[in-house]
Amino acid sequence: AEWLRSLVSFLVLPFTAYWRNVEMMDQSGNNHFRQYALAVLDTLPQDSLLFANYDQQWTSIRYLQECEGHRKDVTSINLSMMTYSWWDVKRDLYDEIHFPGTHYTRASTTSCLQHPSKELVDANIERFGGNIFIGGPLNYADPEFADTYEEVPHGFIRRVERRKGSKMPIDAEEYRTTSLEAWRIVTNRVHSLPDETKYDESTWEYTIRREFFTHLVSRATYLLDLALTSEGRHGTTPALASIAEAVFWLELACNWDGETYSRQTKKNMGLAYLNIVRSKDETFPVVENIFNGIEGATAVDNWVTDSEMWERNSWKEWATTRWREEWQTFLSLGQSKSEPGYEQIKNIYNTVMESSGERAKMRGERKVQ
């Protein structure tokens, strides 16, 4: 009967909706922020100072320290709270920190009672044995701070290093090994990334996933920059192991989000592959994938195979193909012209492709289009 079918539909629909949404609403296994806070704190040396400037970072770290007693040796402080004029009454809560003024402000402020970023770090970097770290962006641009200190990628945060003249703080291989240890800790603490189907961009959990890949890219580009500078070279040759690891991490990020990490990352990937092709090394280094154990991390599809690693011509040909693909894509993107080095990249790309076409014609091959 019609009334019976209507009754069944009336009764079934609520239960159907319930079962469809119960998994989405079930947060019993949600420990993403605990993993995140552990991944920040456990990369820090003993008795470090951490300036936290993300809400989710600050609250999750404070919970671990105050409620679970984890890493109480680390002094963590909210950088944004220090910008308010009432902060001077809170300074006594932090005996370990020396505050050179009443509160944190921009560098152009003339009041001697307030302090910009550089003065704050100057007053504390020796007190904490050089172990000062920043999570999130600084509130104010400070040219004197940027001239004196460098923010070196360190897992989910950045380590404040005093600049050494015009040189980078460390060479590429040294940074590769030390920063990799920090990321090993991150991958040991973060067992899974928030599922995008359950935690979309409107959720706090999504920020963990975004941060994971953002900091992954920061470390990779910093490592690549070190490897391609004179300080990062071993003799006259760029450090191939550092270049290979950097571009592997960039491949990982692009596989996860090709739109966010498109223009600048494709430019850097092409640069990395170009230097791999130019390398005089006889063998290609094996890059360890420390992300295999993380649920939700993306596999790298474009990486060289094991057999190609041990054959010089094979990995050179692979790197040549990847260089061409990445720079071709970069040059085709509408906004790439605004990127620094665009014209230089265009000239290098066209010169190489024209040269390849001439060689192909000499061999009777079809010209590359």
Residue type present at position 160: V
Please tell me the distance from the alpha carbon of residue 30 to that of residue 169, in angstroms, as a whole number. Answer: 39
Residue with tokens 């560098």: 107
Instruction: State the amino acid at position 264 in one-letter form.
Output: Q
Q: 73-89: buried (b, 16+ CB within 10 Å) or exposed (e) per residue?
A: ebbbbbbeebeeeebee
Given pLDDT bands bounded at 50, 70 and 90, which one contains residue 362? very low
Q: What is the pLDDT of residues 229-254, one digit of tens each?
A: 855 555 556 789 999 999 999 999 88
Q: Are 360 and 368 in contact (CB under 8 A)?
A: yes
Q: Are 232 and 224 in contact (CB under 8 A)?
A: no
Is the predicted pLDDT of residue 364 greater than 50, yes or no?
A: no
More confident residue, 73 or 356: 73
Average pLDDT over residues 31-53: 97
Q: Kindly state the average pLDDT of the residues 208-216.
A: 94
Is the confidence at residue 318, as pLDDT, over 90?
A: yes
Could you report the per-residue pLDDT of 133-188, keeping only the tens digit for each? Answer: 999 999 998 999 999 999 999 999 999 999 876 555 578 999 999 999 999 999 99
pLDDT at 313: 83
Q: pTM of the full predicted structure?
A: 0.86
* The token pair that represents 45 in the structure block: 């040396």
Cα distance from N-terminal residue to C-terminal residue, the chain: 69
Which residues make beta-bridge pairs with 160? 151
Q: Is the pLDDT of residue 368 over 50?
A: no
**3-state SS string over 236-259?**
CEECHHHHHHHHHHHHHHHHHCCC
Band of the pLDDT at 366, cuts 50, 70, 90?
very low
